Chain A
Amino acid sequence: MTPLGALLIRDMRISVRVGGGALIGVLFFLVVVALMPFAIGPNLLLLKRIGPAILWLAALLASLLALDRLFAADHDDGSLDLLLMGRAPLELVVATKALAHWLTTGLPLVIAAPVIGLLLNLDAADDAALVLTLLVGTPALTFIGMVGAAIAVALRRGGLLLAVLVLPLTVPVLIFGVAAAQSAFAGAAPFGTAFTILCALTLASLVVGPFAAAAALRQEIE
Chain B
Amino acid sequence: MALGDLANPSRFLAFANRAIPWLGGLTVIVFAFGLNQAMLAPNDYQQGATVKIMYLHVPSAWLSMMAWAVMTVAALGTLVWRHPLADVAAKAAAPIGGAFALLCLITGSLWGRPEWGTYWVWDARLTSELVLFLLYLGVVALWRTVEDPARAARAAAILTLVGAIDLPIIKFSVDWWNTLHQGASFGLEGSTIYPTILFPLLIMAAAFMLLFATLQLAAMRNEILRRRVRTLRLMRARTAS
Residue A70 interfacial (CB < 8 Å): no
- Chain B residue, CB-CB nearest to A165: B138
> Which B residues form the contact surface with A (CB < 8 A)?
79, 131, 134-135, 137-138, 141-142, 145-146, 151, 154-155, 158-159, 161-163, 165-166, 169-170, 172-174, 176-177, 180
A201 in contact with B169 given A147-B158, A216-B155 (CB within 8 Å): yes
Q: Is the CB of A172 within 8 A of B159?
A: no
Q: Measured between alpha carbons, how far is A171 from B159 in the docked complex, in Å?
A: 16
Total interface residues in chain A, CB < 8 Å = 28
Q: Measured between alpha carbons, how far is A215 from B76 in the docked complex, in Å?
A: 13
- Chain B residue, CB-CB nearest to A218: B154
Chain A 182-222 per-residue mask, 1 if CB under 8 angstroms from chain B, else 0:
00000011000000010001001000100010011001100
Known contacts A148-B159, A171-B174, A176-B176; 20 further A-B pairs (Cβ under 8 A): A147-B158, A151-B155, A161-B141, A164-B141, A167-B134, A168-B131, A168-B135, A169-B162, A172-B170, A172-B172, A172-B173, A179-B177, A179-B180, A188-B180, A189-B180, A197-B173, A216-B154, A216-B155, A216-B158, A219-B158
Q: Measured between alpha carbons, how far is A8 from B137 in the docked complex, in Å?
A: 35
Residues of A within 8 A of B141 (CB): 161, 164-165
- Chain B residue, CB-CB nearest to A158: B145
Q: Measured between alpha carbons, how far is A13 from B158 in the docked complex, in Å?
A: 31
Residue A17 interfacial (CB < 8 Å): no
Question: A165, A167, A201, A204: which contacts B159 (Cβ < 8 A)?
Answer: A165
**At the interface, is chain A mostly helix, strand, loop or mixed?**
helix
Q: Is the CB of B138 within 8 A of A168?
A: yes
Question: A155, A164, A175, A212: which contacts B158 (Cβ < 8 A)?
Answer: A212
Residue A157 interfacial (CB < 8 Å): yes
Q: Is the CB of B145 within 8 A of A212?
A: no
Top 6 A-B residue pairs of the complex, sorted by shortest distance between their CB atoms: A219-B154, A172-B173, A175-B177, A168-B134, A175-B173, A165-B138
Q: Is the CB of B176 within 8 A of A175?
A: yes
Which of A147, A175, A197, A216 has most chain B Cβ within 10 Å? A175
Question: B155, B173, B180: which contacts A171 (Cβ < 8 A)?
Answer: B173
A219 in contact with B155 given A161-B142, A165-B142 (CB within 8 Å): yes
Q: Measured between alpha carbons, how far is A148 from B166 in the docked complex, in Å?
A: 13
Q: Is the CB of A151 within 8 A of B158?
A: yes
**At the interface, is chain B mostly helix, strand, loop or mixed?**
helix
Residues of A within 8 A of B142 (CB): 151, 161, 165
Q: Is the CB of A164 within 8 A of B173?
A: no
Residues of B within 8 A of A219 (CB): 79, 151, 154-155, 158
Q: Measured between alpha carbons, how far is A206 from B141 in the docked complex, in Å?
A: 26
30 A-B contacts (beta carbon < 8 Å):
A147-B159, A147-B162, A150-B158, A151-B142, A151-B155, A151-B158, A155-B146, A161-B142, A165-B138, A165-B141, A165-B159, A168-B131, A168-B134, A168-B170, A169-B135, A171-B131, A171-B174, A172-B170, A175-B177, A188-B180, A189-B180, A197-B176, A201-B169, A212-B158, A212-B161, A215-B79, A216-B155, A219-B79, A220-B151, A220-B154
- Chain B residue, CB-CB nearest to A176: B173
A155 in contact with B145 given A219-B151, A220-B154 (CB within 8 Å): yes
Min CB distance, A49 to chain B, in Å? 13
Residues of B within 8 A of A188 (CB): 180
Residues of A within 8 A of B154 (CB): 216, 219-220
- Chain B residue, CB-CB nearest to A155: B145
Q: Measured between alpha carbons, how far is A124 from B137 in the docked complex, in Å?
A: 41
Min CB distance, B224 to chain A, in Å? 22
Q: Measured between alpha carbons, how far is A220 from B174 in the docked complex, in Å?
A: 33
